[in-house]
Structure 1
Amino acid sequence: MTIEQTAASAVTAETVASTVLGFLVERTRTTPEVDQDLFASGVVSSMFAMELIVHLEKSFGVSIVGGDLKLDNFRSVRSMTALVLRLRGDSAPAADG
């Protein structure tokens, strides 16, 4: 999903989670659960987290800076979904998967 597609359609927890999961599957060749700790399970490294940040910023038109750059915001698909929704000002709960 590109920023143009995202801007043209409503961003929901389901669309964010689906986009993040798609990116993870493509890049890591694994299919994590939405609540899986991506760092503890070895799916994501701190270096790969930077790619996740860039992906989220480009896909959803958000800026992730300052206090939002903490690891807990990228620990799971659910936490990344919540971060994107909060930064966009959306209040929908994170997807259950």
Structure 2
Amino acid sequence: MSRLPRAVRFLLVHAAIGFGLATLLMAALFWANPGGVGQVLRRAPGHPWPSLLLWFFCGLTLGAVQIGIAVMLQDRPPDDDDRGGGRRGLVPVRVRG
């Protein structure tokens, strides 16, 4: 069995975290029942479909957010051409006043 490339594994792990967060969101939605939404979803005529679709699209959204956050928080060494890249600490700047 070949291993997945690092980038694919990175995306799958963080997408799974997003779907896990969507599961927690749906559980909280059913538990808190704000405005009777949980009750409406439980009593829907095609019972599982509205809940499954809401979970799926929340999972897509939260997965994309999680991937974006993970990409932005990656720490890389700065580029050699001084055009940016990587993290740099705060640099104090003198202001004449």
The structure where helix makes up a greater share of residues is: 2
* TM-score bracket for the superposition, by shorter chain length: under 0.3
TM-score (norm 1): 0.27
Bigger relative CO (Cα 8 Å, ≥ 6 apart): 1
